[in-house]
Amino acid sequence: MAGKDTLVRVRDLSVRFVSRDATVHAVNGVDLDLAAGEVLCILGESGSGKSVTMRALMKLLPKKAVVTGGILVDGRDVQAMHENELQEFRGSTVAMVFQEPMTALDPVFTVGKQISETVRRHEGVSQAAGMARALELFELVQIPSAKRRLDAYPHELSGGLRQRAMIAVALACRPKLLLADEPTTALDATVQIQILLLLRQLQQELGMGVVFVTHDLGVAGEIADRVAVMYAGRVVEEGPVTALMRGPLHPYAKGLLGATVHSGMRGKRLTTIPGAPPSLEALPNACSFAPRCVEAEPACLAAVPAPRSPIPGRTARCIHVPDNVAG
């Protein structure tokens, strides 16, 4: 049963991309829960299904994607929404920030105009009220000389300020859920930490839920309350960030943590475990990590491991993890 303050509830989500030549099984039976005001990081290496999972939350996948399973956001069935309902839902209930701000910002309009138009579209307010809200948002995301910068075009802002402007656009209609797809990856380290701190502060002030996709364990440690570690389209471990970083349960998470800790936390690509993930076109009916796992044994190849929960609030899909929690 979904709790009273459940903001996101995903059950058995699968996403396939079908083409004439092949079927890519990008996401395979993902369960996720997010409480209002909580930050969940989806962590994993390239191609593990992080972005596809996140985009499914706002039905932002190409038409050819075959999506099955249940997605409830703020109690609404996302899969069942039609285009006009989605337009209202995107922005006012859920908004997204991207790695590349120019994905969200239009180069031919000033940033102030873009924010005020977004507000006007959703809330039907006057031009002056839209602009006043834009200024309020620029101040909220701590853009210095906010009034002057509202008249800037996106290319006139530095990378960090552009990122802040994009966050302001995303927050324009006070979303309950913010989706962030590697929004700091392209920035240099000091700007990256400033944007992470800003997001954390905004999330707390506004009480928003955040789903944050990253390949960077250091970033997850900085911003997350809970982490879901994805591998080959499955969540292989899920739990509170501090517990997971102190003592990961799944061998893949152990490998990531070992690799990252030894070489410094932030900015490290999660690719230091020997071997490569399986092809998403031919996933085995087995533990997908077994070929790279130091703990693998024949039983790992018998079936896809079910989630086990040795500690309340934590799960891992590994047969070596005990399953002690009743219910």
CA distance 254 to 251: 5
Q: Give DSSP secondary structure letters for 179-207.
A: EEESTTTTS-HHHHHHHHHHHHHHHHHHT
Q: Which is nearer to ligand ATP, 137 or 270 (CB)?
A: 270
Q: Which is nearer to ligand ATP, 215 or 308 (CB)?
A: 215
Q: Which is nearer to ligand ATP, 28 or 315 (CB)?
A: 28
- Residue 51 sits in the site that holds ligand ATP (CB under 6 A): yes
Q: Which is nearer to ligand ATP, 233 or 307 (CB)?
A: 233
Q: Which is nearer to ligand ATP, 65 or 143 (CB)?
A: 65
Q: Give DSSP secondary structure letters for 254-304.
A: HHHHHHHHHT-STT--S--SSS-PPPTTS--SS-TTGGG-TT--GGGGSSP
- Residue 124 sits in the site that holds ligand ATP (CB under 6 A): no
CB 47 within 8 A of CB 234: no
Of the candidate residues 2, 22, 23, 46, the single one contacting ligand ATP (CB under 6 A): 46
Of the candidate residues 48, 114, 203, 260, the single one contacting ligand ATP (CB under 6 A): 48
Question: For the packed helices 83-92 and 111-123, what is the interaxial angle rounded to 10 degrees?
Answer: 120
Q: In what order do the strands lie in the sheet with 39-43?
A: 94-97, 177-181, 209-214, 39-43, 226-231, 234-240, 314-316, 308-311
CA distance 223 to 204: 11
Give kind and range of the element (H or E) at residue 10.
strand 6-18
For 238, other C-beta atoms within 10 Å of its C-beta total 27
Q: Which is nearer to ligand ATP, 6 or 51 (CB)?
A: 51
**Rg of the chain (C-alpha set):** 20
Spell out, one character per residue from 253 to 292, where the chain touches ligand ATP: x when CB under 6 A holds, - when not. ---------------------------x------------
- Residue 50 sits in the site that holds ligand ATP (CB under 6 A): yes
Q: Closest separation between CB of residue 26 and ligand ATP, Å?
A: 3
Of the candidate residues 7, 24, 179, 257, the single one contacting ligand ATP (CB under 6 A): 24
Q: Which stretch binds ligand ATP (CB under 6 A): 41-49, 220-228, 290-298, 315-323?
A: 41-49
Q: Which of residues 61-80 bind ligand ATP (CB under 6 A)?
A: 62
**3-class SS of residue 29:** strand
Q: Which of residues 178-237 bind ligand ATP (CB under 6 A)?
A: 215
- Residue 44 sits in the site that holds ligand ATP (CB under 6 A): yes
- Residue 327 sits in the site that holds ligand ATP (CB under 6 A): no
Largest CA distance in the chain: 68
Interacting residues toward ligand ATP by CB under 6 A: 17, 24, 26, 44, 46-52, 62, 215, 280
